[in-house]
Amino acid sequence: ETGVTQSPTHLIKTRGQQVTLRCSSQSGHNTVSWYQQALGQGPQFIFQYYREEENGRGNFPPRFSGLQFPNYSSELNVNALELDDSALYLCASSPQDRGKTQYFGPGTRLLVL
């Protein structure tokens, strides 16, 4: 059974650009949550997808958007990148319990210059 995978592992962008991060959930998991973790901080909830629908959102602007596909994989899109978007972006998948038990991928390190 494969765990949660994310791509790319690292990414460098410039301010104003757009980025897409990808996540493959653990086998059998239908819920994907995205978190942003700034250096030295705990993760902050961005949003969750359950059965291809957004299922709750944290305090992030609309330029953070996402998708979930029929195979439960997911994308996080960030438009108009700002310097403060530099962080580790974490994807977590959960089984049928809609997110109670969350298993994290290795993350994508995004640097915005």
Residues that bind other proteins (CB under 8 A): 4, 6, 33, 35, 40-45, 48, 50, 55-56, 58, 90, 94, 97-107, 109
Q: Which residue number, 16 or 56, has a Cβ lying nearer to other proteins?
A: 56
> What's the min distance (Å) between Cβ of 27 and other proteins?
17
Q: Which residue number, 4 or 81, has a Cβ lying nearer to other proteins?
A: 4
> What's the min distance (Å) between Cβ of 70 and other proteins?
20
> What's the min distance (Å) between Cβ of 79 and other proteins?
22
Tell me the backbone φ, ψ of residue 2, rounded to 5 degrees.
Answer: -85, 150
Q: Which residue number, 80 or 105, has a Cβ lying nearer to other proteins?
A: 105
> What's the min distance (Å) between Cβ of 50 and other proteins?
7
| Residue 84 zone, left/alpha/beta (φ > 0; ψ -120 to 50; rest) | alpha
